[in-house]
Amino acid sequence: MEHSAPHPSKHITGQDTAIIRAGAAEAEALGMLIPAQLQVVYNQRWFKLLVPGVYTGQQIALPQLVRLQEAISWTDGSTGWVVTLCSGAGWFGGFIDPEVALQIFNNDTVCLAGSGAVGGTAEITENGYRVNGRWKYASGAHHATHITANCAIKSNGVPVLNADGEQLVLPFIFDKKDVTVLPAWKYIGMVATGSDAFEVKDLEVPKNRQFKIDPSSVKVDGALYHYPFLQLAEATLAVNISGIAIHFIDRCADVFNDRMNHPRLTAPQKLYLIDTLAIANKEMNTLRKSFFEAVDTSWEAITAEQTVSDELLNNVSTTSRRLAITARELVDKLYPLCGLIAASTDTEINRAWRDLHTASQHALLTFSS
């Protein structure tokens, strides 16, 4: 595979881009994706990107996944983030009880939202578990059909320990009707993700709604479900940030073209704008090429050998973090050169700036190592 880094627009149709962007301002005002945007997601089956093929999913290869997710985030940060997080939860289909998975995923509008935090407890009962808890930051919660959540396992009120003597934590999948969504997302960006909190109270959950994520618990065939979750998460989050950064840089080009006509702008200042933009584009593409090469090589290894070396995985982690951090730094070099239009909350370039600075706060990509 050629480890190329073409512009994200190469991986998404112009029609889908137009529909998603046309609804971005309305989605921000609503605090969640609007029906027209969601219809694109359903039509393209993006929430099923990582769902196993045996459950009507796309079971997409990782190299294609990261390029598509970058393109969706380039189109709109909130849409890209919701697709990434909710399709990422679809990856759990490789570990969920097959009978439950068949019921859940046989739905054209299926969407799994959730939280990776340990926000609740699951008390072992005769027929399964009794769950109580509250979790925050469940992107896509408002249009989700199911919710996933991590719980600390207890028995008779006493923590159950794992093999290492630590608190046993297991993920569960709930029906949306059994979950209460609570307003909680009050941040400057990713406003349309609807990343609100949710809670459950004394919810009786059958045993088959609990699952484990480890190589011995895979229920379906395919390299995708043997690829380590950490690097899968790092890579998919990194391309969200790079996609938004490229969107910002694209809008910068338009802003700079307008500024070239400003009578007070000197020739050296005009040259500085041109050079700074060119450097940003070059550095982004160099980083993206290295990132795609790392992801592609790790995928080639797991498909050929059913395993990935630590060296290849570390390279995915390193290039993911470097891409995310540098994308933010490049945007912040360009931002002051754009004038007040970049600070106006009703502009596309400002939305991209706010989305990037919110998404890049994710703990997985905060540090370079």
Q: Contact 255/342 with Cβ under 8 angstroms?
A: yes
Domain that holds residue 329: 227-365
Name the CA dihedral angle for 339, 345, 346, 351, rounded to a multiple of 10 degrees. 90
Please give the C-alpha separations between residue 333 and each of 91, 249, 269, 281, 336, in angstroms, as whole numbers: 36, 11, 15, 12, 7
Q: Same domain, yes or no, for 320 and 351? A: yes
Q: Same domain, yes or no, for 284 and 350? A: yes
Each residue's pLDDT tens digit, 184-226: 999 999 999 999 999 999 999 999 999 999 999 999 999 999 9
This prediction has a pTM of 0.96
Q: Tell whether 105 is covered by a domain.
A: no
pLDDT value of residue 192:
98
Q: Same domain, yes or no, for 27 and 138? A: no
Q: Tell whether 41 is covered by a domain.
A: yes
**Of 344, 339, 349, residue with least CA distance to 264:** 339
Q: Same domain, yes or no, for 69 and 130? A: no
* Boundary residue ending a domain (44, 65, 94): 94
d(C-alpha 70, C-alpha 76), whole Å? 10
Q: Tell whether 3 is covered by a domain.
A: no
pLDDT value of residue 104:
97
Q: Tell whether 141 is covered by a domain.
A: yes
| SS3 of residue 170 by DSSP | strand
CATH of the domain at 117: 2.40.110.10
pLDDT value of residue 11:
97
For the chain, residues with pLDDT lower than 50 are none
Each residue's pLDDT tens digit, 113-158: 999 999 999 999 999 999 999 999 999 999 999 999 999 999 999 9
Q: Same domain, yes or no, for 172 and 245? A: no
* Boundary residue ending a domain (214, 238, 264): 214
Q: Tell whether 1 is covered by a domain.
A: no
* Boundary residue ending a domain (164, 180, 214): 214
Q: Same domain, yes or no, for 154 and 235? A: no
Split into its structural domains, the chain has a count of 3
